[in-house]
Amino acid sequence: MKLLLNVVLITIVLFIAGCESSCCENVLLTQSVEIRGNQTPVPIIKGVPTSIVCGSTITADGRGSYDLDGSIVHHIWVIDGIRQNTSSSVSTTTLPCDNKVHKICLTVTDDKNASQKVCQQVRVNRQNALLSNPCDLDPKVTFEKVNNTQKYNFSCKESTYNGQRIDDQTASECTWLATENFIDGNIVDFSETTGATKTIDIDLSTFQSLDLTLTVKNSECERTLTQHYILPEN
């Protein structure tokens, strides 16, 4: 809804030329003109869950922010009161393993210098991470684009168990769950699959981001890692 900034009274003073001094009068014409102002931009944060396991990386995605009557020219990210060293619409961070609630804020400014801020909170769940992962099992995701296709291969082979890299020969098992987010707002959840690699066919012309969850487990323990991906076009 547009904000009415001001009402300007334009006073036009007309002097009637050529009349006698005794009949000359100032004729006052007034008109009210509504000057409607700029709409405030709307900041939107995606990719920030309400809680994460200690060690998980968060990619806060502000690309869904918008300005109805102009464009967004500045993004400012602040985490726990500390401004981040980035002006991008996306901010990636790893929060301390402190079992506390952290605040991630995004302020957007439009081309007419109007701004608005939004914040989200996320808890780092250190206690649950320790209880559910008593062994040294560290999940890690690597990915690469398949040449001349729109497919991406995601791999868990760089994950480690007791400091050693897992591979297809170990008893460790990798389970994948993916959610693809599209520019038009549609969301597609892929079914859960198991294996050392997961291939996803992505239409980059409609794709916005991907939320990918990897669970690595063996006979002793399991650990889950969730990450937010914005994949390169090339």
**Model pLDDT, residue 7:** 32
Average confidence score pLDDT of the chain: 77
Per-residue pLDDT tens digits for 26-85 = 333 323 233 258 999 999 999 888 888 877 788 999 999 999 999 999 999 999 999 998
What is the C-alpha separation between 159 and 148, in angstroms, rounded?
27
Instruction: Say whether pLDDT at 205 is over 50.
Output: yes
What is the C-alpha separation between 110 and 152, in angstroms, rounded?
35
What is the C-alpha separation between 168 and 46, in angstroms, rounded?
34
Confidence of residue 165 (pLDDT cuts 50, 70, 90): confident
Name the token pair of 116.
Answer: 């608005």
Residue 68 backbone zone (phi > 0: left; psi -120 to 50: alpha; other: beta): alpha
Instruction: Say whether pLDDT at 21 is over 60.
Output: no
If one compares 125 and 103, the residue with the highest pLDDT of the two is 103
Confidence of residue 127 (pLDDT cuts 50, 70, 90): low
H helix runs in 27-179, sequence order: 126-132
If one compares 151 and 190, the residue with the highest pLDDT of the two is 151
**Model pLDDT, residue 168:** 53
Answer whether 39-132 and 134-234 agree in fold: yes
For the ranges 55-64, 80-89, 92-101, 191-200, which has the lowest average pLDDT? 92-101
Indicate the domain borders of the chain: 4-36, 39-132, 134-234
Q: Mean pLDDT throughout 131-146?
A: 75
What is the C-alpha separation between 219 and 173, in angstroms, rounded?
9
Q: Is the CATH code 2.60.40.10 the one for domain 39-132?
A: yes
**Model pLDDT, residue 219:** 76
Instruction: Say whether pLDDT at 163 is over 80.
Output: no
Q: Mean pLDDT throughout 159-185?
A: 80
Q: Mean pLDDT throughout 153-168?
A: 82
**Model pLDDT, residue 30:** 29
Q: Which CATH code is given to the segment(s) 134-234?
A: 2.60.40.10
**Model pLDDT, residue 52:** 85
* Residue 149 per-residue DSSP state: S
Instruction: Say whether pLDDT at 159 is over 50.
Output: yes
Instruction: Say whether pLDDT at 215 is over 70.
Output: yes
DSSP-assigned letters across all residues of 83-148: E-S--SSEEEEE--SSS-EEEEEEEEEETTS-EEEEEEEEEEEHHHHHHH--S-EE---EEEEPTT
pTM exceeds 0.85 for this model? no
Instruction: Say whether pLDDT at 210 is over 60.
Output: yes
